[in-house]
Amino acid sequence: MVDTSQIKEHMDVISSDKKVVGKVDHLDGVHAIKLTKRSSPDGQHHHFIPVDWIDYVDQHVHLSKSGVEVTAHWKHGRS
């Protein structure tokens, strides 16, 4: 299990194939990372990535999923 206390606002979230898929807005509870609207492809929605997808955290949040997998399966919302 990843130590989510290391996740900070505006950290880059990077897919397993080294693509930046967004920036952290904040942790949404204990199960998801909420990405900033600005990092959304349309700039209008927050996207949510499950904490289970995190491989490790250093100065960035590194995911175990490829960019295509992330964008195909992330959740989105307007809030």
The pLDDT tens digits of the residues spanning 13-70 come to: 999 999 999 999 999 989 999 999 988 877 888 999 999 999 999 999 999 999 999 9
pLDDT at residue 35, as a whole number: 95
Single pTM value for the model? 0.91
| Token output for 6 | 């290391």
Sheet of 46-50, strand order: 54-57, 61-63, 12-14, 20-28, 32-35, 46-50, 75-77
- Which CATH superfamily is 4-77 part of? PRC-barrel domain (2.30.30.240)
What one-letter code names the amino acid at 69?
E
